[in-house]
Amino acid sequence: MTSVEEIVREFQEADRQGMIDLLKDYSEDLPEVPERVLSLMDRDVNRVHECETPVFIWIEREDGAVTIFADVPGPYPTVRGLVSILVNAFSGLSPQEIESAPPDFISRLGLAQLLGTRRMWGISAVYSRIKSEVGKTEEVS
């Protein structure tokens, strides 16, 4: 797990190719969604419909700590990378910590220049989705 500020810093310090490499690493590091969670996911309810790419999010909480599972198909590595940043930043935090994460987190990564604003809208939607749903998740027993 890397903190929001650490992630922002690593992107801000990277040049253009460095950002592409970072995104690629995040994309490759997105954990596979376990079968147990895949079977619970509803392909409609858990889909982030604002994203043109199929992105499915499942949020759990255990002992107060949040785990985020995200399913993004391989042919969309950029979206996988962006979603993986969010999973990395927020898994293990409490719902309150996630809810109070800086609203400009995504824009501060400085990726709009690399990806264009059009590609950033979808990921902002995933960010909003995580923030708005995290308080509603129930403890896993």
Partner 1 sequence: MADYASPDVLVSTDWVEEHIDDPDIVIVESDEDILLYEIGHIRNSVKFDWQTELQDQLIRDYVSRENFEALLSEKGISNDHAVVFYGDRSNWWACYAFWTFKVLGHEKCLIMDGGRQKWVDEGREFVKEVPQRPKTDYKVSVVDESIRAFRDDVVEHINSGRPLVDVRSPKEYSGELLHMEAYPQEGALRGGHIPGAANVPWATAANEDGTFRSADELVEIYEKGQGLSKDQDVIAYCRIGERSSHTWFVLTYLLGFENVKNYDGSWTEWGNLVRAPIEK
30 vs 93, which CB is nearer to partner 1? 30
Query: Amino acid identity, residue 94?
Result: S
- For residue 7, CA distances in Å to 39, 133, 136 come to 31, 22, 26
Q: Which residues lie near partner 1 (CB under 8 A)?
A: 20-21, 23-24, 27-28, 49-50, 75-79, 81, 113-118, 121, 125
Question: How near is the Cβ of 77 to partner 1 at its closest, in Å?
Answer: 4
Question: How near is the Cβ of 122 to partner 1 at its closest, in Å?
Answer: 9
Spell out the residues 6+ positions from residue 9 whose beta carbon is closer than 8 angstroms to its own: none
Question: How near is the Cβ of 42 to partner 1 at its closest, in Å?
Answer: 19
Q: Radius of gyration of the chain from Cα atoms?
A: 14
95 vs 122, which CB is nearer to partner 1? 122
- Region of 63 on the Ramachandran plot (φ > 0 left; ψ -120 to 50 alpha; else beta): left
Using CB atoms within 10 A of its CB, is residue 76 exposed (0-12), middle (13-18) or buried (19+)? middle
Tokens of 135: 């308080």
Tokens of 35: 């079968």
Question: How near is the Cβ of 24 to partner 1 at its closest, in Å?
Answer: 5
Question: How near is the Cβ of 90 to partner 1 at its closest, in Å?
Answer: 20
57 vs 93, which CB is nearer to partner 1? 57
18 vs 92, which CB is nearer to partner 1? 18
93 vs 111, which CB is nearer to partner 1? 111
